[in-house]
Structure 1
Amino acid sequence: MNISVVKTILLKENFPGENIISKSFSSHSDLITGVYEGGLKIWECTFDLLAYFTKAKVKFAGKKVLDLGCGSGLLGIMAFKGGAKEIHFQDYNSVVIDEVTLPNVVANSTSEDEENDVNEPDVKRCRRSKVAQELCKFRFFSGEWSEFCKLLLSSEKLFEKYDLILTSETIYNPDYYGPLHQTFLRLLDKNGRVLLASKAHYFGVGGGTHLFQKFVEERNVFEMRTLEIIDEGLKRFLIEMNFKYPS
């Protein structure tokens, strides 16, 4: 997977998100509630989840996948490379989607072999056609989770729910647990799974794995299972969620 495009975008002059970045720096925080929710940073737990996909041989082939709170879109890109039939990317900030997620997805939509220079016009045309077909698998969304749900579920076409929802470091703030739980409830297929990566505790904002688990258990909608605990530095968890009572 190629993440060099993310580094290039964030370092370039006149980056459209520089106002967000400057606000983040001036407030000494990676997060500004209601303004910036951390999408310009690749968070630690994202790499934990990517490693788990490989180690556990998670099957993406033929599945509809949502990368929720996607940032650079690495989780969704991995699903694409695993043969997912459709991948949606959602982030709070539109500048993250426009300037980071989308370019990174496009950069990773061809194999390394296809990136080599090819002089034959017919081969070039074929390659462009293939890339265009692959890009049709992707959709990109920005905004709050409640509005995102409303948009999908109010469309004229019957919405096909997600087989897999992938999300990393989205449970840092307890204020967001209600909308997040509702997003899972409304958008996950009855036989689908959520794969979630999180730190045990987020100092300063108060959220974390144990608090979210308590929130979920109180609502009695989802089962939660710990897939892996990474006990290096701040303890981190990989969690699977599915409906308790599929109907």
Structure 2
Amino acid sequence: MAFQFNFTIDSHLENELSALGDEALDLESSGKTSFLENQKEKLKEKWSSKDCDLSKEPLWGCKSSPEVQASQVCDNSLIKSDEITRDLEPEEKQPCLKVAKEHDIPKDLKKVIENKVTEVIPDLQHGNLSVVKMTLLKDNSCGEDIISKSLSSHSDLITGIYEGGMKIWECTFDLLAYLTDEEVQFAGKRVLDLGCGAGLLGIIALKGKAKEIHFQDYNSTVIDEITIPNVIVNSNFECEDDEISEPDLKRRRNANPAQQLLSKCRFFSGEWYEFSKLVLSSKKDFAKYDIILTSETIYNPSYYSPFHQTLSNLLDENGQVFLASKAHYFGVGGGVHLFQKFIEERNVFETRTLKIIDEGLKRILIKMTFKHTH
């Protein structure tokens, strides 16, 4: 089932998108579409509606196209407080870092998602990514211009410019299935969806009554045009704890939905090191994350230091990282085994393999926790 709107697509834009060919790995343009459809069917058998389920009926309003400025900054400063950092790596390895920023949640939530074409997977909805791309190609107000750059370079990964956030990668479905099968508990937890893209992992945490969910992606366009709309489409603002009193429930139902969303979700863009600095130095109250969810983020070995540093700085002492990745990324060089070797050398985390999936390209789910010295 999919919600559809009348949406005219110029033929030349459609042709431009098809030029991505086999390199596009999202649901709409992947050469592995049939495989992902099988994954969807498997999830459909596993997932069932629970208490505090998310709304199955989306809100509809009009899509906003705020101008987003992509900026690069050179910053050699380090976070100085020992209380909020762990295992800082030399920042010289990342001389130019994309500035991080927090994204405001629009007051008119319905306006954000009008003209969005929505696809449905079990208990979740997400915007059709091909339509989003075509819309952005026709709209010149997006400062990052990542779609045309991706098309012209015939690549989903452009270092320092675009890091693949406009695609739903295979491992996301692997991790979604695992979290559901194992009934990982999110209730009352502080959760980060790191490298969130469409935000499906964070939305599952929202469904599971997480106390707070933060979404982070490298590109601001991804956050504004994909992540925030997806969270809104999946949000049911009347979903509250069973113990809430009737007067409080009535007040919350009458409250501004944007404020209710704001109370649980925050959205960030920018490079990982800059993101960690931003949240740790924020004037808003910040507590480290109990759970960090991340999928297909270890494809490039040159990113391992800032990634490791971000996990070290932001994960609670007793927290867990659930990571999904291909065993090896051909053409880029990263993968689970190389990353685990990197982790062992740093001696900060211990890793445990949760699941190995051999269908198609080999994929692996791992869990990371801090090593505790006794």
2:139 is the counterpart of 1:12 = no
Structure 2 residue 271 is the aligned partner of structure 1 residue 144: yes
Aligned to 1:201: 328
Residue among 316, 335, 343 paired with 1:216:
343
Cα distance in 2 for residues equivalent to 1:164 and 1:82: 13
How big is the shift at 1:182? Answer: 0.3
Say if 1:161 and 1:187, in contact at 8 Å, map to a contact too.
Answer: yes
Q: Normalising by structure 1, what TM-score? A: 0.88
Q: In 2 relative to 1, CA 53–246 (structure 1 residues): closer, same or farther, beyond 3 Å?
A: farther
Higher helix share: 1
State the AA in 2 paired with 1:168.
S
Gaps of 5+ in 1: 114-123
- How is 1:69-218 mapped onto 2 (pairs within 5 angstroms)? 69-110=195-236, 127=253, 129=255, 131=257, 132-156=259-283, 159-218=286-345
Distance, in Å, in 1 between the alignment partners of 2:276 and 2:229 is 24
Q: CA deviation at 1:46?
A: 0.5
CA distance in 2, matches of 1:11, 1:18: 15
SS in 2 for 1:75: helix
Amino acid at match of 2:362: K
| Counterpart AA for 1:70 | C
The residue aligned with 1:118 is none
Deviation sequence 1:64-115 (CA, Å, 0-9, x none): 00000000100000000001000000000001111111111111112899xx
Residue identity over aligned pairs, in percent, reads 69
The CA distance in 2 between the partners of 1:125 and 1:158, in whole Å, is 24
Shift of 1:246: 6.7
8 Å CA contact retained: 2:199, 2:215: yes
Runs of 4+ in 1 over 6 A off after TM superposition: none
Is the 1:6–1:72 contact (alpha carbons within 8 Å) kept by the matching residues of 2? no
Deviation at 1:129, TM superposition (A): 2.8
Distance across 1 between alignment mates of 2:134 and 2:284: 40
Deviation at 1:23, TM superposition (A): 1.7
Q: What is the deviation of 1:24?
A: 1.4
The Cα of 1:128 is off from its aligned counterpart by: 5.7
Contact conserved, 2:238 with 2:252, CA < 8 A, in 1? no
AA in 1 matched with 2:366: I
Change (3 A) 1:18 1:34: closer
Whether the 8 Å contact between 2:237 and 2:253 is mirrored in structure 1 is no
2: CA distance, partners of 1:30 / 1:166: 21
